């Protein structure tokens, strides 16, 4: 996909050249200076006249009129060099690639060195550009009848740089792996629920595990019954589709120690059960397995990058349906851990599925836990649609998750978790816990419930109900699934320190 050159002349004829430009630049350097010379100084003149702008996000498309091997040049503003960083470069590159795709370019070139700045190294720029390429050009094909007009895809990207070629190639590879895995998560979330059942998700995980030589375990209903997974089985009671508990294990150390457990909610569709959702709220519930998708996306990156860390991924998967057999409010169920749960709301089903998954991850040796789930509408009320909610029982572990999320450009905001929150989820007259203490602090109550099963194990909860999907296009994607937390989880594993 990416080819690296240290001379503009080595590239074959290309349809567009992408150039970043910082504010206060009065002339061009490197490969863009070579292009300017071929165009008899016209690019410098356009820069002076303001036709080419360095303002962050501003783009200009210049046709070369056959005077060089590139048909057009896309300039993208990077803003002030002192404030530009990895994320702003990635967004700018994403916008440029989108413009190249809209222009029906089948090939592109990038002047990598034009993106290097005070806070952006050559490796940073390469990673940002290749990740942006994957994310920005993503498209979920869907199920419409095919148009007679074929869609244009950018099939090759030439990267020109004076930086160390091996380092550039390595960073391009990493960025593309991260972007492509995020797109894999997006694909899973975008699939309609009749085409992604719990078993379908399990088969996807199996293929992933076979590709990367992970240890694979997939439990069916009978195995779950023997193990006492009463919480997940309760959610599944109303469904004709059998549940699955999916486990993938990656061993990056000689000994199976310091294991990170990644637990992803895999509810393939959520009606709310007998606590039925309103019609408007039920549309889009195919995305209720976005936590599972993020975990599988992260495992794809782990499989490619092979970090020196042990990881167990655990995904409880079912749908939450209504039938004569469905579980109901006032039921009391027993989780795998032995704790009893009074069901006050069947639409608070994700935390039940995660309860057994967290317990099972611990049985597989997880010494650290991160659960990822579209858990509550309350987190959207609290934090909006661009911030993931987080809770923890361990400060140092949370700091590592926070750093990974910042590096990935997937921001999280910590919610409180106190002894009073513990008291509320333990407030049942007939069981150890209740699954829905009330609307007040709804997002916190969901996380506090899961914490009862993490117990003393260092744990971070990520509620992605607001960030798993988006209603608008951005520089790095389209409306629909975002693949959020895929990169955060992978970076956490890569950077993890005991």
The whole-angstrom distance between residue 42's C-alpha and the CA centroid of its chain comes to: 42
Of 98, 249, 339, 351, which residue is the catalytic one? 351
User: Is 351 an active-site residue?
Assistant: yes
Report residue 189: phi and psi, to 5°: -70, -35
Partners of 60 in the β-ladder? 75
Of 277, 328, 424, 426, which residue is the catalytic one? 277
Partners of 371 in the β-ladder? 263, 461
Quick check: 359 and 455 in contact, CB under 8 A?
Answer: no
Q: What is the DSSP letter of 286?
A: G
Q: Which residues 6+ apart lie within 8 Å of 412 measured at CB?
A: 387, 388, 389, 390, 401, 402, 405, 462, 488
> Considering only CA atoms, which of 241, 214, 123 is closest in space to residue 173?
123
**CB hemisphere CA count around 105 (13 angstroms):** 28
Cα–Cα distance, 391 to 460 (Å, whole number): 6
What is the DSSP secondary-structure string of 385-423? TS-EEEEES-HHHHHHHHHHHHHHT--EEEPP--HHHHH
With left for phi above 0 and alpha for psi between -120 and 50, is residue 412 left, alpha or beta?
beta
Residue that the structure tokens 């690639």 belong to:
97
Partners of 295 in the β-ladder? none
User: Is 414 an active-site residue?
Assistant: no
User: Which residue numbers are catalytic?
Assistant: 277, 351
């Amino acid at each position: 996909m990416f080819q690296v050159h240290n001379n503009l002349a080595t590239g074959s004829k290309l349809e567009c050249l992408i150039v970043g430009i910082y504010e206060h630049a009065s002339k061009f350097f490197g490969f863009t200076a070579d292009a300017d010379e071929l165009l008899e100084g016209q690019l410098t003149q356009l820069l002076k006249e303001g036709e080419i702008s360095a303002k962050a996000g501003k783009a200009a498309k210049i046709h070369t009129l056959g005077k060089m091997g590139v048909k057009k040049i896309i300039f993208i503003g990077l803003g002030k060099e002192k404030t530009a960083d990895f994320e702003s470069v990635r967004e700018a590159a994403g916008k440029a690639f989108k413009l190249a795709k809209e222009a029906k370019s089948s090939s592109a070139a990038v002047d990598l060195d034009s993106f290097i700045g005070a806070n952006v190294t050559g490796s940073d720029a390469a990673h940002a550009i290749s990740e942006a390429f994957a994310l920005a050009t993503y498209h979920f094909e869907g199920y419409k009848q095919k148009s007679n007009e074929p869609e244009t895809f950018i099939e090759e990207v030439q990267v020109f740089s004076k930086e160390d070629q091996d380092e550039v190639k390595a960073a391009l590879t990493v960025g593309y792996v991260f972007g492509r895995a995020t797109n894999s998560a997006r694909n899973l979330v975008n699939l309609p629920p009749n085409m992604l059942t719990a078993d379908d998700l399990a088969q996807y995980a199996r293929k992933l595990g076979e590709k990367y030589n992970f240890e694979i375990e997939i439990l069916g209903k009978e195995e779950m019954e023997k193990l006492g997974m009463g919480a997940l089985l309760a959610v599944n009671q109303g469904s004709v589709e059998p549940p699955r508990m999916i486990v993938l294990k990656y061993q990056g150390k000689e000994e199976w120690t310091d294991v990170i457990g990644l637990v992803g909610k895999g509810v393939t569709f959520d009606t709310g059960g007998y606590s039925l959702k309103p019609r408007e709220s039920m549309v889009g519930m195919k995305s209720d397995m976005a936590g599972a998708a993020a975990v599988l996306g992260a495992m794809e990156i782990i499989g490619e990058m092979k970090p020196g860390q042990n990881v167990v991924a655990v995904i409880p998967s079912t749908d939450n349906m209504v039938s004569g057999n469905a579980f109901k409010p006032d039921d009391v169920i027993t989780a795998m851990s032995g704790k009893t749960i009074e069901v006050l709301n069947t639409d608070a089903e994700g935390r039940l599925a995660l309860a057994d998954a967290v317990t099972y991850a611990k049985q597989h040796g997880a010494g650290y836990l991160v659960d990822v789930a579209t858990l509550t509408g309350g987190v959207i009320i609290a934090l909006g649609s661009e911030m993931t909610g987080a809770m923890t029982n361990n400060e140092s572990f949370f700091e590592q998750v926070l750093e990974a999320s910042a590096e990935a450009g997937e921001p999280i905001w910590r919610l409180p978790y106190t002894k009073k929150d513990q008291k509320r989820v333990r407030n049942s007259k007939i069981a150890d816990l209740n699954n829905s203490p009330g609307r007040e602090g709804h997002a916190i109550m969901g996380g506090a419930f899961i914490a009862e099963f993490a117990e003393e194990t260092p744990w971070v909860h990520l509620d992605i109900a607001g960030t798993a999907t988006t209603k608008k296009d951005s520089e790095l994607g389209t409306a629909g699934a975002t693949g959020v937390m895929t990169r955060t989880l992978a970076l956490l594993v890569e950077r993890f320190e005991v």
